[in-house]
Amino acid sequence: MSASVSPSVARVGVWLIGARGSVATTVVAGCAAVTAGLHPPTGLVTETPMFADSGLPALSSLVFGGHDTVDCPLPKRAEALAAGGVLPPGLPTAVRAELATADAEIRPGGPLPGDTRGDPDLITAFADDIQDFIRRYDLTRAVVVNVASTEPPPTGTALPPSSLYAAAALRAGCPYVNFTPSTGLDHPALAPLLASAGLPFAGRDGKTGQTLLRSVLGPMFAQRALAVRAWSGTNLLGGGDGASLADPAAAAAKNAGKERVLADTLGTAPEGEVHIDDVPALGDWKTAWDHIAFDGFLGTRMVLQTTWQGCDSSLAAPLVLDLARLTARAHEAGLSGPLSELGFYFKDPAGEGPAALGEQYAALAGFAQRLRVERPGEPAPHSGSDEERR
Ligand SMILES: NC(=O)c1ccc[n+]([C@@H]2O[C@H](COP(=O)([O-])OP(=O)(O)OC[C@H]3O[C@@H](n4cnc5c(N)ncnc54)[C@H](O)[C@@H]3O)[C@@H](O)[C@H]2O)c1
């Protein structure tokens, strides 16, 4: 691992949509914990040597704010996560000040029940909140990251809430990351605004568990010329995400991404489905089973079964920090449009790119090098060969 948190003068905002949720709370608490040296940066790919000298903003330079529709204070939310074993027991107390600072920067989201504001008014209000945050903290830039509850796919022409926030991000001149399967920027009504904004963006839906495993195993079967006959999966999870995904329409948005990875890596969609069951007693802990039926030489029938037991927010939070840093740096380097090299992080990546994790990791390494070289107005640091650098 590289040295974790170099001090930085310039501060970068991370504006979280769904700022009081499990993932967001773990992001804020985790960033403070790593910055203070209380925990190593396990799970943060941006802290590995691959990103040394890529000019990423230091973790210590990140300032958090956001929107949410509930008002449970972040320190209290963190206590609940610690009680559920998601955060280490003493952490909410150790980083209470940082949680309280972020909490003071969370603004009411929307639309709230009975909200009479129309879409234009909501977009303006959200964009004003973000611009006010940037101004008051004198931030060099802010990245908007959607970690709000998964929405059902939109029907008709009305903009879903995730798209209202995405429009607000564009209006405020901010790069945008969609960590959820919700629509966000992918709404036809936002296409003209997106085309003229000249901003970098990335998404959709963080790849943290079952799909991560699928993006490794799918290529293995294809490369060994084994014939996958069926691939079925079941997930049990609780927490806010489990409750949201109990809605079949919201679950359909999530499952489409999980199944697409198989079609993309195997070259054809195998038989089988993915199911998500809400089990509130499990909280943020997820169990995912996959059952893969495949044929070997001369049609010999075989089966691989996998069991993944993960803590969702602990898996997701370092990815959100990585994405915020990478997207902020891309913005600084003048990049715009879909950051397809960040496909490593997503179930349904924006732009064209490979679906296999190994190839996605190679693309990410190329991106790290590109950021190293693309420093506007500055000579490229360490742009010589690896040998010269040593
Ligand atoms: N491993 C993972 O945890 C993982 C992986 C991929 C994607 N995701 C996605 O990340 C998102 C967050 O997951 P979570 O476990 O933190 O869920 P959560 O239920 O704990 O948090 C979601 C937050 O969004 C808020 N919210 C809902 N509607 C809103 C709106 N209109 N405006 C602003 N805020 C709103 C809720 O009040 C809540 O605080 C989900 O969409 C989930 O599917 C998570």
CATH (one of 3.50.50.60, 3.40.50.720, 3.40.50.150, 3.40.50.880) for 12-206+314-373: 3.40.50.720
The amino acid at 367: F
Bridge partners (DSSP) listed for residue 293: 230, 303
Return the residue whose CA atom lies nearest to atom 1 of ligand 1.
312
What local confidence, expressed as pLDDT, does residue 375 receive?
A: 65
The average pLDDT across 301-310 equals 97
Q: Report the Cα 115 to chain-centroid distance in Å.
A: 28
CA distance linking residue 231 with residue 168, whole number of Å? 39
Q: Are 232 and 278 in contact (CB under 8 A)?
A: no
Domain ranges of the chain: 12-206+314-373, 210-311
How do residues 159-184 score in pLDDT, each as one tens digit?
999 999 999 999 999 999 999 999 99
Q: What CA–CA distances, in Å, run from 216 to 130, 193, 289, 307, 360?
A: 38, 36, 15, 15, 10
The domain 210-311 is classified under which CATH number: 3.90.550.10, 3.30.390.30, 2.30.38.10, 3.30.360.10? 3.30.360.10
pTM for the predicted model, two decimal places: 0.93
Instruction: Return the HEC string of 273-298.
Output: CEEEEECHHHCCEEEEEEEEEEECHH
- Give whole-number Cα distances, 21 to 17, 30, 60, 75, in Å: 9, 14, 22, 12
Q: What is the mean pLDDT of residues 60-81?
A: 97
Q: Which ligand 1 atom is at minimum distance from the Cα of 182?
A: 41
Ligand 1 pocket, 313 CB below 6 A?
yes
Same CATH topology for 12-206+314-373 and 210-311: the answer is no
Cβ(147) – ligand 1 distance below 6 Å: yes
109 Cβ below 6 A of ligand 1? yes
Are residues 2 and 47 in contact, defined by beta-carbon separation less than 8 angstroms?
A: yes
DSSP 8-state symbol, 49: G
The string of pLDDT tens digits covering residues 102-158 is 999 999 999 988 889 999 999 999 999 999 999 999 999 999 999 999 998 888 878
- Of 238 and 180, the one with more pLDDT: 180
* Least confident piece of the model among 1-5, 191-195, 348-352, 355-359: 1-5
Which atom of ligand 1 is nearest to 161's Cα? Answer: 31
Q: How far apart are CA 335 and CA 353, in angstroms?
A: 17
- The answer, yes or no, to whether any atom of ligand 1 lies below 6 A from the CB of 215, is no
Of the candidates 361, 343, 368, 367, the one whose C-alpha atom is nearest the C-alpha of residue 353 is 343
**Helix H or strand E encompassing 12:** strand 12-17
Distance of CA 172 to the CA centre of its chain: 20
Cα 39 to Cα 130: distance, rounded to the nearest angstrom? 30
